[in-house]
């Protein structure tokens, strides 16, 4: 197939890498891709979606896969479908599940899907009433619109929560994205990322992953896009998966059909498991990054077939097979991440002589640029060292062994990826 992948991060690199390893050969194009994706396919840079659809027609693209949320919310799927192109992802309307937290919470409420008690409002008084009525702290305040993962404040006092509401409603903290806010109760549990690949009617659930969002070891410091992930996580069991299917995925797909916005694409379910019960924190409408970077290589079934069948309503004919192993991904970030950009730094990867490490690890490139054949670290999250093994400890040892072979000035990693899983396994 001729396959077009939209995006430029480690997530899109990992989708391309998995497809490039399939038995059947494919031609892969990234738009815009990064400084390393051109080793897997070609990079193009077309910003206008109508122009991109014309390019896809002329170049006989059989399948387009969309990585990030912004093009989905902006309607790239609608435009491609109007041009009779096959594209995997939700319509702009269905992408509101991520584009608007108010829309998402109202869908959860309307279809009785378990979520934190909340109020949605654009009135300070209404928010204050909800805050005053809470018996426990912290209290969570969220801006309605897309804020690049930064629109959530976990307030440790009622005054702080009210202040956060004020800053959002005034437009000071997040501009128009804060015109409406959600104030909700804090959920105390462990957080999982569950991905359902959906074709509007049917779905395939991938093994649950766990992300590490804070910059520092032990989950300290500011939130990031994610500093590492692993899968499958032993923090879920069949009972929890079943509850997620019955109480979350099925009613969401049924509900979205009733809303005239059938959900096609990746439903990323942010779950908090509280006393064995899955409660929904949020939906995203695309793969998580870094979760994607471990789930793609763990798939034994063809990734291109999964997405093609997802895009053409054939998921009832798809059999998911996963490799019988674990994956751990450690993000290597640049010096000033997540605060500001860092000066470009050359990336050097040592030759790896350990056969086992070579066969069971790889790099997924993200914020990199190529200049005269030199790979430079130019983004916040630069690359991921991904290790595999028959258990989490082995996979993790390999991911960290690979980290030791990769060098650039100012490189920064977390040293405790998968710690929660290892803690329960070592009990």
User: Which residues make up the interface to ligand AMP (CB under 6 A)?
Assistant: 116, 140, 142, 152, 184, 186-187, 191, 213, 270, 281-282
Comparing CB distances to ligand GLY, the nearer of 195 and 307 is 195
Among 98, 120, 264, 291, binds ligand GLY (CB under 6 A): 291
Q: Closest approach of Cβ 271 to ligand AMP, in Å?
A: 10
Backbone angles phi, psi at 309, to 5 degrees: -70, -30
Considering only the stretches 112-120, 181-189, 245-253, 283-291, report the one whose residues sit in contact with ligand GLY under the rule CB under 6 A: 283-291
Give the up-direction half-sphere exposure of residue 320: CA atoms within 13 A in the CB hemisphere. 19
Query: Distance between CA atoms of 423 and 427, rounded to whole angstroms?
Result: 6
Question: Are 48 and 79 spatial neighbours (Cβ–Cβ below 8 Å)?
Answer: no
* Residues 212-231: x where in contact with ligand GLY by CB under 6 A, - otherwise, as a string: --------------x-----
Q: Closest approach of Cβ 213 to ligand GLY, in Å?
A: 7
Which does residue 235 touch among ligand GLY, ligand AMP, none (CB within 5 to 8 A, set by kind)?
none
- Please, which of residues 235-264 interact with ligand GLY by CB under 6 A? none
Q: Is there binding between residue 98 and ligand GLY (CB under 6 A)?
A: no
Q: Is there binding between residue 211 and ligand GLY (CB under 6 A)?
A: yes
Comparing CB distances to ligand AMP, the nearer of 10 and 145 is 145
Q: Is there binding between residue 289 and ligand GLY (CB under 6 A)?
A: yes
Q: Closest approach of Cβ 293 to ligand AMP, in Å?
A: 18
Which does residue 289 touch among ligand AMP, ligand GLY, none (CB within 5 to 8 A, set by kind)?
ligand GLY
Question: Are 375 and 368 spatial neighbours (Cβ–Cβ below 8 Å)?
Answer: yes
Comparing CB distances to ligand AMP, the nearer of 101 and 411 is 101
Q: Closest approach of Cβ 232 to ligand AMP, in Å?
A: 19
Instruction: For residue 12, give both structure tokens.
Output: 């899109």
Comparing CB distances to ligand GLY, the nearer of 131 and 197 is 197
* Residue 57 CA from chain centroid, whole number: 28
Q: At what angle do helices 158-169 and 124-133 cross, to 10 degrees?
A: 160
How many Cβ atoms are within 10 Å of 397's Cβ, its own excluded? Answer: 17
Q: Closest approach of Cβ 149 to ligand GLY, in Å?
A: 6
Which does residue 226 touch among ligand AMP, ligand GLY, none (CB within 5 to 8 A, set by kind)?
ligand GLY
Comparing CB distances to ligand AMP, the nearer of 139 and 315 is 139
Q: Closest approach of Cβ 296 to ligand AMP, in Å?
A: 21
Contacts with ligand GLY by CB under 6 A lie at 149, 211, 226, 284, 288-289, 291
């Amino acid at each position: 197939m001729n396959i077009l992948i939209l995006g430029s991060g480690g997530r899109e690199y990992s989708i391309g890498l998995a497809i490039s390893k399939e038995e059947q050969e494919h031609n892969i194009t990234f738009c815009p891709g990064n400084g390393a994706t051109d080793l897997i396919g070609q990079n193009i840079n077309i910003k206008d979606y109508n122009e991109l659809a014309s390019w896809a027609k002329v170049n006989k693209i059989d399948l387009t896969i969309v990585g990030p949320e912004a093009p989905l919310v902006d309607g790239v799927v609608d435009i491609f479908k109007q041009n009779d192109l096959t594209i995997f992802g939700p319509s702009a309307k269905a992408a509101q599940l991520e584009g608007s937290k108010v829309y998402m919470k109202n869908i959860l409420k309307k279809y009785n899907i378990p979520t934190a008690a909340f109020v949605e409002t654009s009135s300070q008084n209404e928010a204050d009433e909800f805050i005053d009525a809470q018996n426990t702290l912290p209290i969570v305040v969220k801006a309605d619109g897309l804020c690049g993962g930064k629109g959530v404040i976990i307030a440790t006092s009622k005054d702080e929560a009210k202040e956060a509401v004020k800053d959002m409603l005034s437009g000071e903290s997040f501009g128009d994205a804060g015109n409406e806010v959600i104030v909700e109760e804090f959920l105390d549990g462990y957080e999982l990322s569950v991905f359902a690949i959906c074709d509007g009617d049917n779905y395939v659930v991938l093994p649950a992953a766990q992300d590490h969002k804070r910059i520092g070891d032990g989950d300290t410091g500011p939130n990031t896009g994610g500093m590492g992930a692993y899968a499958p996580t032993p923090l879920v069991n069949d009972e929890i998966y079943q509850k997620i299917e019955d109480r979350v995925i099925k009613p969401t797909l049924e509900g979205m059909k009733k809303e005239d916005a059938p959900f096609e694409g990746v439903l990323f379910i942010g779950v908090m498991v509280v006393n064995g019960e899955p409660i929904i924190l949020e939906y995203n409408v695309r793969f998580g990054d870094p979760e994607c970077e471990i789930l793609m290589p763990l798939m034994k079934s063809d990734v291109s077939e999964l997405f093609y069948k997802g895009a053409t309503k054939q998921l009832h004919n798809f059999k998911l097979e996963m490799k019988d192993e674990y994956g751990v991904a450690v993000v290597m970030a640049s010096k000033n991440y997540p605060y500001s950009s860092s000066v470009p730094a050359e990336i050097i990867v040592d030759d790896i002589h350990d056969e086992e490490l070579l066969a069971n690890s790889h790099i997924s490139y993200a914020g990199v640029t190529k200049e005269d054949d030199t790979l430079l670290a130019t983004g916040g999250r630069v690359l991921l060292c991904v290790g595999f093994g028959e258990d989490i400890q082995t996979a993790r040892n390999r991911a960290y062994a690979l980290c030791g072979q990769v060098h650039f000035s100012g490189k920064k990693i977390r040293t405790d990826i998968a710690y929660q899983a290892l803690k329960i396994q070592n009990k």
